A and B are shown apart, each in its own frame.
Chain A
């Protein structure tokens, strides 16, 4: 494996029950510093693939290597973010950001300072000591992002993190997310069911199709960076959208949604 390959899967397979095969024969490589979008309809196994990489669930078969070592469980160089912000209601924003340190027993004045900086980085100055219930949905996801940064993980797995937010908030957060993870050392895998979002964010888009969950196509997105919202109206962008739609359509023809 080349040094700049961070995650590698081959023949990866996850079966829940006899009939439910969530991921089948997945083969992919994810280079360091890249942003991968994982797009597909619900039930196509994209969340399962993400959880396999994170070590939250075990594979049934095949190879899955992160930094050349077999994934056996959650690891500290991988951080996750979910569709729900999953904040602890009884802790203020900054205390939520400090949770990773508390769990690892690494709370220190420096860690606290870092949590403060991370909250500011995600644009939450003046809300450091608000409780989650006092924050809007978008702000809650910002806290979750700050917590992810606090883990110090350089592999970030995001499972439809802004899926529950309104379109405007989501667009803004996507742009900010791109700025934050624009670092040659940070590798990001982003799950979504929104085709435009996947293309807008990704260096590569993995298109997944359901029953069984397969990676049907891996599309390089060759669009200029930094990406801005106006990009979505360009013909190049639309061509990518069409390409993804074609892949999905050819697999979904006969399936009721």
Chain B
């Protein structure tokens, strides 16, 4: 329906100006956290259960700028999660590509993939710790294990779900298997592969943190567990916020990659890329 405005029951979200939006969100934020703070100050909220926002903020400030104790834990956790992510994604995508190329492999691997799918990856934590010990490697291994499935299944789905007409076009042009793979399958599958990578990123962080809970001497996960068990709730919440920040930064990274790589799905990016290619084209002339 190109020539009518959408005004269904729900589609009628009024687009507010950015300033108004910001104001709205800020006011909600202030009311929410102001109320919480006030509740704490007036003793309606038990500080031992829900520490006041300001005490959490103070603990954060302390961690980052006074003692600087958080940085090491932060770096360790990031390292473990990213390494696990890289390993898990490589294995997942490698398996998926083999399965996409070889129907025989796909057939014999399928039951094991189902087993992997129904077992929560983090259930394997005790084994990983027993096998890899208490150091970094067990965290990396668990991160890899927890995150390998989404890239696997998404890559496989993306590579196999090619429009039949596109396949026929490539065959009619006499494309080799390799050309078909690189010029058709891979680009078509890219959006769904990246969606899998996004899920994997979160998974890697989860794996790392859970392995840290189980046994670790360093990392944001163990830090927050120690704080919680000592009933130092503001410290624990501060560590949780650090973890959120970590997740958000990794998430933003993935979003950025999505934005850069899948340029053909966004109008602004298409304009950008088409201008660039035009320049290149005319220069070559």
Q: Which residues of A contact B (CB under 8 A)?
A: 16, 20, 22, 42-48, 51, 57, 83, 210, 213
Contacts and interface: CB of A to CB of B under 8 A. Distances in A.
B7 A48 contact: no
Interface in B5-56: 5, 7
B2 A16 contact: no
A57 B8 CA distance: 9
B11 to A, nearest CB: 12
11 contacts: A16-B5, A22-B4, A22-B5, A43-B3, A45-B3, A47-B1, A47-B3, A48-B3, A57-B4, A57-B5, A210-B3
A42 B4 contact: no
A243 to B, nearest CB: 24
Contacts of A46: 3
Interface of B: 1-5, 7
Contacts of B2: 42-43
Nearest to B7: A57
Contacts of B4: 22, 47-48, 51, 57
Nearest to A41: B3
A20 B1 CA distance: 15
Contacts, number: 24
A152 B21 CA distance: 46
Nearest to B5: A16
A46 B4 CA distance: 9
A4 B5 CA distance: 32
A214 to B, nearest CB: 13
B9 to A, nearest CB: 11
Given A20-B5, A22-B4, A57-B7, 11 more contacts: A16-B5, A22-B3, A42-B3, A43-B3, A44-B3, A45-B3, A46-B3, A47-B3, A47-B4, A57-B5, A83-B1
Nearest to B3: A43
A57 B4 CA distance: 10
4 shortest A-B CB distances, which residue pairs? A16-B5, A43-B3, A48-B4, A47-B4
B229 to A, nearest CB: 51
B5 to A, nearest CB: 4
Contacts of B3: 22, 42-48, 210, 213
B153 to A, nearest CB: 26
B86 to A, nearest CB: 43
B17 to A, nearest CB: 15
A44 B4 CA distance: 10
A43 B7 CA distance: 17
Contacts of B5: 16, 20, 22, 57
A47 to B, nearest CB: 5
Most buried by A among B1, B2, B4: B4
A249 to B, nearest CB: 20
Contacts of A43: 2-3
A10 to B, nearest CB: 22
Contacts of A48: 3-4
Contacts of B7: 57
B235 to A, nearest CB: 52
Nearest to A208: B3
Contacts of B1: 47, 83
A146 to B, nearest CB: 23
Nearest to A210: B3
Contacts of A44: 3
A213 B4 CA distance: 11
Nearest to A22: B3
Contacts of A45: 3
Most buried by A among B2, B3, B7: B3
A83 B1 CA distance: 9
A216 to B, nearest CB: 16
A46 B5 CA distance: 13
A244 B4 CA distance: 23
